[in-house]
Amino acid sequence: MSRRLLKSSVFLTASALFAGLAQGPAFAATPSVWVQSASDHVFSSSVRPSAPVTGIALYAARNEVQAAQIAVRSTSNATGVSVVAGDLTGPGGASIPAADITVSSEYNHPNVNKPGAQTQNPPDGSSNYYDALVENTPSALAANYTQPYYYSVAVPTGQAPGVYSGTATVQSSLGNVSVPVSVTVYDVTVPPTNRSTFRMNNWFTSAGWDYAGTEQAIPLQYGVKMYDANWWKVIGNIAADHAKHRNNVIWADFQALLIPNSSQDANGNYTFGWDTYDRFIQTFIDAGALQYIYQTPLIGGTYGSPQLHELQNVNGVLGHVRAPANTAAATAYLDTVFAALKAHLDSKCLDTTPTCAPGRRWSDVLYMSAVDEPTNADTAQMAAANWLYDRYHAHFPGGMTNEAQYNIAPSDHQRLSTLTPVGNDTDFDAHYAYYQSQRLAGKDLWLYDADHPIDDHLNRFISYPLAESRLIPLMESSVGAVGYLHWGWNYWVDPLDWNDYSKGFVTLDTFNYSNQVTASASSGNYMLVRPDKATYGIYDSVRSEAQLYGLQDYELLHQLSAVKPVTARALLNTLVTNTTTYDTSGADIDQRHKQILDALVAPGGDASFPFADDFSSGNDANWRHLNGSWSVTADPAYVQSSTGTASWDVVSAVAGRAYRDVAAAVDLQITGVNTADGGNSNWAGLTVHSLNPTDTDSGYLVAVRNNGGLFVYRSGTQLASTTVPGYTAGQPVHLRVVTRGSTIQVYANGTAPLLTVTDGSFPVGSIGLATGGASAKFSNVRINPMVNPVEAAAVTVSSSYEADGWSAGAAVDGAKGSGPASMGWSSALGTTPARTEWITADLGTAKPLSRIDLFPRSDGANTGMGFPVDFTVQVSADNTNWTTVASVTGSPRPGAGAQSFPFATTDVRFVKVTGTKLSTDQLGHYYMQFAEIQAAGGDLALGRPVSASSSVDDYGAGWVRPALTDGSVASNLGYSMGWSSRASTATGAEWATVDLGGATPVSRVDLTARTDGANTGLGFPVDFTVQVSPDNVNWTTVVTRTGYPRPTTAVQSFTFPAVTARYVKVSGTKLSADQFGTSYLQLGEMSVSS
């Protein structure tokens, strides 16, 4: 699905996080008021939506800021317009006082430059965009003009969890409008800025770097002089703003800050005074902002002539000069200043403790940078950078190094601890495998933006969808990056000539953009914030706030990844498909933020997403792709018909799901190859554990070449290869990949692994279908995230017939039926029935199980032959102490399908079936034979088939029967919403039934309502029953509820005395309405357990 198509979800989710808006008296002139996500643009030409969002409902962790926009518009002129926030009251008398709530007016900037193709134009087509957040003073509002106000709540670290409610009041000469507000505080805490996981580096102006605009921006804007009292007041306010906005990497030029307190004598000896530098750094430490120090690049100059920034006497005064780099004199200089820097930083600590803890000295958190945007073709520059890093590491062994790279420059990567490419097609995307391999080798990965990219990649330009500023940290997470750099936090001047700063600078009109020299100065590239000259402070912007929310999202997602990595990756993948395909709806991102919080506090383990697609639905709504030509055919099959090699990332991935330990299988057939590029060495296969769904260069590519080659590839490296036995070009292949921990096993047309790889680089990620220079047909996709833990288990047997499709491994290959390639397992031939044969499966770790399923052979007239007459089923946690859960004598020859053996839930690692009286095959020989052995436990409904009274089966929206048991409790439009009946009446009878696959003891049914923001709980039945049945005919009611209240996101659990059943039905007899007032029976997820 393209990034633009993803916007289709906005209409249904725009109201997802807001609740009812209360208008004042119904006077015709009363202003029209509505609420919008803080991560979506409001324009002066925006009009009230036909289905307006109706109030503020925010969801926040402690130590987190969340916000919404209140839009005000009137058909007549109004005066005295402002928004007043009241206290919010919560549980047990707790409150969020109005002092923790900030309401700002948004400034409408004219003349905004619109770079690139992603511009979101205002409805009137103008160049006017709201960005700066200014004082909320009563002001005039012109008729038919929309003014947004930014309502922001900062939740203190110690805030009690719960729901806090109150109002915000829009005041004007035309009457007041009251806006209800609720803030739900979760029992989750975002770490302080200076203890973040993410590293945020917005370069800001102060001292040094270019020794031009960097030093002039603050004095010219505020009318101050460097290092006077008011200059320090500005720096203090910048530090406070950095702390608030999680900008924890502080841009500081130690040489420039040495100048006021240092000297050089006539013999060239330096006396370094650190007072100004220390005051500067300490200002950011005291504000709670500083976690890392980033030294500005020390090498400048022109192509082929690198120059080192140095301190030397100029006319008897110490100052900045440029001198040739990589010379003996420059080496002596660096050794002098680096030795002094190391000695001083070693003596300083980030903390006030008597003893500085390891890693907390200033020297431990310093990044050194040689060059800004180097070019690999400038060999002199590359040599100078490496020279500088060598001198640095001579004094700072293991010291961190970093530089923004506009073009890939591997010549100095060996000496960089962090790689920071620009996030565009020609650098990062074009070398994605390389950057992933470097990350896996131990380097940190950051991304950076400036006046580029301006293609389909994220950037924080004013005219771009506001959600992009928020998505950037999540995009970083999606590719394994841990930091972000942007050069222009407050470059509030514009050089008359970028190649000659001596010509001077224009003091930018940062609000009306009336005097810029460079077009990008008014695009948002130069600045994220603006000067509040009256207070020597900072005006934030809707973009700086959106970036803050993205940084908070990253921290929360990081916490979730530590405990529920599959859930975290799946939620992330519903926002980011790849570096150019992502969701630009702020309302959608708000919803994911809430779902991350919900998942963090929800009891229980990680998510599991069983999946199967035989493409009989006729659509590929469950899939996402960027490249290739994909279509569903009538066979049915999923076909990629292009053999083009312009891109090798031709992947269609399962949408909105992620996997850890998993068995993934597909039937594939290469139908054509690009004969001019690769020929029969081209391939088709599976991607497993990809970071982004459509990646082939993260995760693992497991594929078959049309010459029979079989390989496993990871980020530019082939990890293993072999040949598929007997393969001929264009032959169908049943490809299966099993991952358990760091072990990857690959099967092709057989039940024994052809490849086994040990690699833990990518433990969690997406699964997709992939081709490279080939067209291919795919069918029968099946993904088992070890819901059936017996699949691919280690098997031991008493004896085994290993021919004609029979093998020990075939009993655990996931195939329930018998076919030529996989009949199942058969013991060795016997001539009498009375003998003992057994098969044991080792699941690897203990799992809670409550049922074992034995599948007879099912090859036509031979179905059921070889099934034992007398046998036991036993389970064990240690392969020594066994519990018999079934003892059968005189078993008749079964038909096809599972023979189920239920028992009380037990932790099981080993499953053993022992036959003591055997039956014959079609030739009269005695064997013990099974097509498959499977086990069930935990959520017995997971991945099981669903039948229903009716079903909307809207695959595009995600309302389908399989979504009731797909493992997703997070309702996300376009991915998985759950199951919905068709439109009904309030008293309509609707039901859904889950087939558990076999009779099992059940004593609990969990129902999750739809969980899409403000729509949470809609469609949940008011009056309903839960019934169980052994045969889908005779039903026993185990739960009856009437007048059931609308649920929250919490699981609704219903327990009852244990009963053995195969079918579980939920029947609604009084229904509730959805957000549009139509009655449905809607359930987000249903689980059943013993």
Most confident of the ranges 116-125, 391-400, 422-431? 391-400
pLDDT score recorded for residue 778? 99
Q: Residue 170: what pLDDT?
A: 98
Domain boundaries, the chain: 3-188, 193-264+275-299+316-352+366-582, 611-784, 794-936, 946-1089
Distance between CA 1066 and CA 1077 in Å, rounded?
Answer: 22
pLDDT score of 158: 96
794-936 against 946-1089: fold identical: yes
Q: What are phi and psi of 267, to 5 degrees?
A: -90, 5
965-1013 pLDDT, tens digit per residue, is 999 999 999 999 999 999 999 999 999 999 999 999 999 999 999 999 8
* pLDDT at position 251: 98
Residue 402 neighbours by CB under 8 Å, 6+ apart: 294, 367, 368, 369, 416, 417, 418, 420, 446
Q: State the CATH architecture for 946-1089.
A: Sandwich (2.60)
Mean pLDDT of 111-123: 94
Report the C-alpha gap between 495 and 517 in whole angstroms.
7
Helix or strand or coil: residue 671?
strand
Contact at 8 Å (CB) between 611 and 976? no
CA dist 585 and 572 (Å) reads 14
Distance, CA of 576 to CA of 592 (rounded, Å): 12
Q: Residue 5: which pLDDT band, with cuts at 50, 70 and 90?
A: very low
Contact predicate 857/819, CB 8 Å: no
Q: Are 481 and 446 in contact (CB under 8 A)?
A: yes
Q: What is the 3-state secondary structure (H, E, C) of 964-1002?
A: HHCCCCCCECCCECEEECCCECCCCCEEEEEEEEEEEEE
Q: State residue 4's pLDDT score.
A: 32
pLDDT score at 8: 34
Q: Does 18 score more than 70 pLDDT?
A: no
Strands 292-295 and 366-368: parallel
The CATH number given to 794-936 is 2.60.120.260
pLDDT of residue 647: 85
Band of pLDDT at residue 300, cut at 50, 70 and 90: very high
Query: Does the structure show a pLDDT above 50 at 735?
Result: yes
Residue written as tokens 């992009």? 468
Q: Which CATH architecture has domain 3-188?
A: Sandwich (2.60)
Distance of CA 474 to the CA centre of its chain: 6
User: What distance lies between CA 445 and its chain's CA centroid?
Assistant: 16
Q: Evaluate whether 407 touches 380 at the Cβ level (below 8 Å).
A: no
Phi, psi of 388 (to 5 degrees): -65, -45
Predicted confidence (pLDDT) per residue in 524-555, tens digit: 999 999 999 999 999 999 999 999 999 999 99
Q: How many CA atoms lie within 13 A of 1090 on its CB side?
A: 17
What pLDDT score was predicted for residue 20?
Answer: 44
Q: How far apart are CA 536 and CA 545, in angstroms?
A: 20
What pLDDT is recorded for position 420? 98
CATH of 193-264+275-299+316-352+366-582, one of 3.20.20, 1.25.40, 3.40.50, 1.20.140: 3.20.20
pLDDT at residue number 54: 83
- The helix-helix angle for 542-563 and 565-573 (nearest 10°) equals 140
- Flag whether pLDDT at 19 surpasses 90: no
Mean pLDDT for the stretch of residues 511-528: 96
pLDDT band, very low/low/confident/very high, at 25 (cuts 50, 70, 90) = very low
Burial code (b: 16+ CB inside 10 Å, e: under 16) for 571-609 equals: bbbbbbbbbbbbbbbbbbbbbbbbbbbbbbebeeebbbb
> Taking residues 875-897, what's their average pLDDT?
98
Name residue 1005's beta-bridge partners.
1054, 1088
How do strand 32-37 and strand 95-96 relate by DSSP bridges? unpaired
Overall average pLDDT of the 202-230 stretch? 98
pLDDT confidence tier of residue 10, bands split at 50, 70 and 90: very low
Q: Give the three-class secondary structure for 4.
A: helix
Cβ contacts of 133 within 8 Å, gap of 6 or more: 104, 105, 106, 107, 150, 539, 540, 541, 542, 545
Residues β-bridged to residue 323: 308
DSSP state string for 85-107? E--EE-GGG-EE-GGGEEEEEEE
For the stretch 321-370, pLDDT in tens is: 999 999 999 999 999 999 999 999 999 999 999 999 999 999 999 999 99
Mean confidence (pLDDT) of the chain? 96
Residue 116 is predicted with a pLDDT of 84
How confident is the model at residue 813, as a pLDDT? Answer: 97
Whole-number Cα distances in Å, 580 to 1, 150, 625 = 11, 29, 11
- The token pair at 58 is 């925010």
Distance CA 543, CA 246 (A): 14
Q: Is the pLDDT of residue 21 over 70?
A: no
Taking the CB of residue 900, how many other CB atoms lie within 10 A of it?
Answer: 19
Show the CA angle centred on residue 746, arms to residues 745 and 752, nearest 5°.
85
The 10s digit of each residue's pLDDT in 633-674 is: 999 999 999 999 988 889 999 999 999 999 999 999 999 999
- CATH homologous superfamily of 611-784 equals Exo-inulinase; domain 1 (2.60.120.560)
- Contacts of range 92-97, beta carbons closer than 8 Å, 24 or more positions apart: 92/160, 92/162, 94/159, 94/160, 94/162, 94/164, 95/164, 96/153, 96/155, 96/156, 96/159, 96/164, 96/183, 96/185
The type of residue at 656 is G
Q: Which two tokens stand for residue 668?
A: 């594939």
DSSP 508-550: --TTT--S-SSGGGGTTSSBSSEEETTTTEEE-BHHHHHHHHH
Q: Rounded to whole angstroms, how far apart are CA atoms 578 and 625?
A: 9
Question: 572-621 pLDDT, tens per residue?
Answer: 999 999 999 999 999 999 999 999 999 999 999 999 999 999 999 999 99
Give mean pLDDT, residues 380-386.
97
Q: What is the pLDDT of residues 441-476, one digit of tens each?
A: 999 999 999 999 998 999 999 999 999 999 999 999
Q: How far apart are CA 390 and CA 395, in angstroms?
A: 9
In the chain, the percentage of residues whose pLDDT exceeds 90 is 94
pLDDT at residue 28 tops 50 = no
pLDDT at site 407 = 87
* pLDDT in the model for residue 1014: 87
* Secondary structure, 3-state, 1018-1040: CCCCCEEEEEEECCCCCCEEEEE
Q: What is the pLDDT of residue 22?
A: 44
User: Which tokens go with 984?
Assistant: 């009904």
User: Is residue 117 over pLDDT 90?
Assistant: no
pLDDT digits (tens, 9 = 90+) for 915-938: 999 999 999 999 999 999 999 999
Which element (helix H / strand E) includes 946? strand 946-948
